[in-house]
């Protein structure tokens, strides 16, 4: 299908269709959405790379990355290390990897719809998955191959690789209970994310497994950065029946926690046991070293590359991988006071 066919199907001028596809401001939102939806349903790609895509000729994988709060995440090397290894894997197979940054001010679904209509890549890797993620249905309808770094409520319908968030909570909780802790706090991310769903579910199940009463006040929602770690710790210290341990869902939160404890003369481990998700290079500079999980990011990136190619080739079984991790215990965890 060419642009003339698409315009005829929509009963619009070729110029209007072209401007809608290219996000020109003189086209109404309703018309733009109508054009993009029709392009998606009819398999139209807006440029030459899209036409070669249908012939399997672009040799390009797209990595959809949300860039919100980039100022606070400037020291986070998670995606850089994953992408570096993934690119090396794809390059060996003759594929290029392109980063598709979506700012938090943009509608991520509409952003993805534009990418699909322009035929930029043969396969898209989707990150920052939500529990109910409209991007998944959009991709399934488009028949464009995709792989998600993270699960969704539709995990049975698409290929994915995800960190072991359930194991993170279960292992951390079991260790803390074995050391006598009974009031254990946990931080979580925005409720729309699937990570939040997994963390809250695992947290409740850990309480039930140990016969401990579940107190929703111990599931804390704070920003996943140093500032959030500091705020969460101050909140914990002010609680009447305060927790003796905390499990942070993001590694840099431990840095803020240590600072908040130091401000009131308290010591991590002795006064509040601390565990965080991933052992990163940032954590080498705090004392005592914080208990965290070793995650092989280079191998994760390589596996994302190989699974993306398997998905492109429609190989079975569909990718459903929980990524392994191992707890490194340190002096940030001690017996309950």
If DSSP states are collapsed to H, E and C, what string results for the chain? CCHHHHHHHHCCCHHHHHHHHCCCCCCCHHHHHHHHHHHHHHCCCCCHHHHHHHCCCCCEEEEEEECCCCCCCCCCCHHHHHHHHHHHHHHHCCCEEEEEEECCCCCHHHHHHHHHHHCCCCEEEECCCECCCHHHHHHHHHCCCEEEECCCCCHHHCCEEEECHHHHHHHHHHHHHHCCCCCEEEEECCCCEHHHHHHHHHHHHHHHHCCCCCCHHHEEECCCCHHHHHHHHHHHHHCCCCCCEEEECCCCHHHHHHHHHHHCCCCECCCEEEEEEECCHHHHHCCCCCEEEECCHHHHHHHHHHHHHHHHCCCCCCCEEEECCEEECCCCCCCCC
**In-domain check, residue 126:** no
Give me the CATH number covering residue 196: 3.40.50.2300
What per-residue confidence (pLDDT) applies to 314? 94
Q: What is the pTM of this model?
A: 0.83
Which structural domain, as residue segments, surrounds residue 3? Answer: 1-39
Over its C-alpha atoms, the chain yields an Rg (Å, rounded) of: 23
What per-residue confidence (pLDDT) applies to 74? 41
What per-residue confidence (pLDDT) applies to 256? 96
Tokens representing 82 are 């994953």
**In-domain check, residue 236:** yes
Q: Answer for the pair 122, 143: CB distance below 8 angstroms, yes or no.
A: no
What per-residue confidence (pLDDT) applies to 277? 95
Of 278, 295, 312, which marks where a domain is finished?
A: 295
**In-domain check, residue 260:** yes
Q: What is the number of domains present in the chain?
A: 2
CA 325 to chain centre: 17
**In-domain check, residue 218:** yes
What per-residue confidence (pLDDT) applies to 52? 45
What per-residue confidence (pLDDT) applies to 294? 96
Per-position pLDDT tens, the chain of length 337: 678 888 888 888 888 888 888 767 888 988 988 888 888 777 676 554 444 444 445 799 999 998 765 444 444 689 999 999 999 999 999 999 999 999 878 899 999 998 998 888 999 999 999 999 999 999 999 989 999 999 999 999 999 999 999 999 999 999 999 999 999 999 998 778 999 999 999 999 999 999 999 999 999 999 999 999 999 999 999 999 999 999 999 999 999 999 999 999 999 999 999 999 999 888 888 999 999 999 999 999 999 999 999 999 999 999 999 999 999 999 999 999 8
**In-domain check, residue 196:** yes
What per-residue confidence (pLDDT) applies to 70? 42
Give me the CATH number covering residue 26: 1.10.260.40
Q: Answer for the pair 130, 191: CB distance below 8 angstroms, yes or no.
A: no
What per-residue confidence (pLDDT) applies to 148? 98
What per-residue confidence (pLDDT) applies to 68? 66
**In-domain check, residue 256:** yes
**In-domain check, residue 304:** no
**In-domain check, residue 268:** yes
What per-residue confidence (pLDDT) applies to 21? 80
């Amino acid at each position: 299908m060419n642009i003339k066919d698409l315009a005829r199907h929509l009963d619009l001028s070729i110029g209007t269709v072209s401007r809608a596809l290219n996000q020109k401001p003189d086209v109404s939102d309703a018309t733009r959405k109508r054009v993009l939806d029709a392009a998606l349903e009819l398999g139209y790609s807006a440029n030459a790379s899209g036409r070669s895509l249908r012939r399997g000729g672009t040799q390009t994988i797209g990595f959809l990355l949300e860039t919100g709060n980039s100022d606070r995440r400037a020291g986070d090397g998670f995606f850089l290390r994953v992408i570096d290894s993934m690119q090396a894997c794809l390059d060996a197979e003759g594929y290029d990897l392109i980063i598709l940054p979506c700012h938090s001010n943009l509608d991520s679904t509409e952003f993805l719809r534009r990418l699909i209509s322009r035929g930029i890549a043969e396969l898209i890797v989707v990150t920052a998955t939500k529990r109910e993620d409209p991007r998944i249905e959009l991709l399934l309808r488009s028949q464009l191959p995709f792989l998600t770094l993270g699960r969704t409520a539709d995990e049975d319908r698409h290929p994915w690789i995800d960190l072991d968030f359930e194991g993170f909570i279960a292992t951390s909780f079991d260790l803390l209970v074995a050391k006598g802790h009974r009031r254990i706090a946990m931080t979580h991310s925005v409720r729309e994310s699937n990570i939040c769903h997994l963390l809250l579910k695992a947290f409740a199940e850990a309480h039930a497994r140990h016969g401990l009463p579940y107190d929703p006040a111990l599931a804390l929602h704070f920003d996943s950065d140093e500032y959030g770690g500091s705020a969460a710790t101050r909140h914990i210290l002010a609680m009447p029946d305060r927790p003796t341990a905390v499990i942070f869902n993001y590694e840099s939160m431990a840095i803020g926690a240590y600072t908040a404890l130091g401000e009131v003369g308290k010591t991590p481990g002795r006064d509040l046991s601390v565990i965080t998700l991933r052992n990163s290079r940032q954590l080498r500079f705090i004392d005592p070293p914080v208990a965290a999980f070793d995650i092989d990011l280079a191998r994760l990136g390589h596996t994302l590359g190989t699974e993306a190619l398997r998905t492109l080739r429609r190989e079975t079984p569909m990718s459903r991988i929980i990524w392994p991790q191992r707890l490194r215990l340190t002096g940030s965890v001690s017996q309950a006071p």
